[in-house]
Amino acid sequence: MQHCWICDIGLTEYEDAWMLQNRLGDLRREEAIDSVILFTEHKPVITCGSTSDKNNILWSESEIKKHGIEVIDSDRGGDVTLHCPGQLVAYMIFKLDYRKGIVRDLVKELETSVINTLANFGLDTVRKDSHPGVFKDDRQISAIGMHLRQSVTSHGISLNVKPDLELFDSINPCGLKGVRATSMEKELDKEVDMIDVKNALANELKTIFDLELEEISSDQIREACRGKNA
């Protein structure tokens, strides 16, 4: 069992959370901290992964601007994706023993954590061997995108709990043409408490990765970074 901080940093700008991940990743590589899970929601942003095709952004620049959406290039794997309030994002700063295929194995474990979380709410979902993520029938409810540098991971899971699904019309989700995004509230046709989803996902990650979770505050995690000459 490995010790792991878990921290809800609230609603964030994507780049602020990315910078925090990078700093925590550096500290993890130095063995200055243990593993970290960050929970957040992002202000509206389209992120373009390392293999993105910008043609998968379907709205014009003016339409994107009208909806208050930023467009940012990211170092995670994958194509374009969208983050916005009502979507739970979980970032994993884990140190892995590198071996061939480990990122693929990690993605499958993250998919399983989401599938099990959704089952707790009565939703039956599946993975697709052809593409990372979790789907309800042919609708994407969760995206997975990771980055690995010197055996330390960053980025992770986005799970649509109760976002404005209209915003997802701006992209082909993860580059999947003709695939629509969906959410827990849409599929269940009822309100879903974000805190309940966070707790359920935390429990699944704890079980799958054999973690001893220690909950800390956003102030504590930023102070820990400052204390390490951040």
Q: How many CB atoms lie within 10 A of CB 111?
A: 21
Q: Which stretch of DSSP H or E encloses residue 47?
A: strand 45-48
Query: 157 near 142, Cβ under 8 Å?
Result: yes
Straight-line distance from the first to the last Cα atom of the chain, in angstroms, rounded to the nearest whole number: 28
Contact residues for 85 (Cβ-Cβ < 8 A; gap 6+): 11, 41, 42, 43, 44, 163, 164
174 noted as active-site residue:
yes
Task: Classify 65 as helix, strand or coil.
Answer: helix
Active-site residue (options: 7, 48, 84, 174): 174
Task: Classify 132 as helix, strand or coil.
Answer: strand
d(CA 33, CA 4) in angstroms, rounded, equals: 9
Q: So which residues are the catalytic ones? A: 174
